[in-house]
Structure 1
Amino acid sequence: MAYEVEILSGELRLTVHDQAAWVEVADLLDRNLVPADIPLAKVLQFEEGGKNASAGGDE
């Protein structure tokens, strides 16, 4: 499950993860993603017209 959010104020507080990073959509697949996040990253890239924009699972 994924959510699109807008941060209105305050700072990001991690409760489960060790790190957080703001990255460009085109760079998502260059990150060390868990396997479950890869299809979502591909969809986002497809919607943004980014690199590796195939929403298929051929990688």
Structure 2
Amino acid sequence: MRYLMDVVGFDAGARAVRGSHGLLPRDPRDGPVPLCSDPSAARDRVAVTEVKDLLLGRTA
């Protein structure tokens, strides 16, 4: 089964990429929620710059 898939357009003016691209909502209660089974990682707020370290288990 071979067929041509049009997944990425070549027309730069078409504005095919859509979405928030990381823009946080106005109300923090509508923001992303990281879930974790380790209670020691619990925080009221997590800065965007802390996410990588939390995922890698390098909690401060």
TM-score by length of 1: 0.23
Instruction: Determine which structure has the larger helix proportion and give its number.
Output: 1
TM-score by length of 2: 0.23
